[in-house]
Structure 1
């Protein structure tokens, strides 16, 4: 998974094309229910299971990409 693919997941879940790799999911209108959709998409796309705490620690596409890369 690339940071661009992860950014696209954020865009799709938040229905906002103005998301970039530094956009904070929660500041862009995301909530815990939408975060689970991101986590599910990540699991489907790259096979990495993250929990909500992982997402809280890395709420931007760029930070989440680094988190995923450290686990694979």
Structure 2
């Protein structure tokens, strides 16, 4: 029997991840990760945190398509 460990995400959940990995408090639901100074290496930390916290493994291409907390939350919830 498999156990479903996926959980939906809110933009606030992803804002918290962005704030932690970018070490910035000025992140909002519509802040662009890359405009805040994020890069591909730091993006992997976001993707790892999403996988650990929500059980969803997003690709880097999905991250590039939706580089805001609101966009990523939508991708996470869509995958659940």
So what's the TM-score if we normalise by structure 2?
A: 0.87
Where in structure 2 are the equivalents of 1:1-72 lying within 5 Å?
Answer: 1-72=9-80
**Unpaired stretches in structure 2, ≥5 consecutive residues:** 1-8
Larger radius of gyration: 2
SS in 2 for 1:28: coil
Number of residue pairs matched by the alignment: 72
Which 4+ stretches in 1 moved above 2 angstroms?
Answer: none
Q: Bigger relative contact order, structure 1 or 2, given CA contacts below 8 A and separation 6+?
A: 2
So what's the TM-score if we normalise by structure 1?
A: 0.96
Between Structure 1 and Structure 2, the one with more helix by share is 1
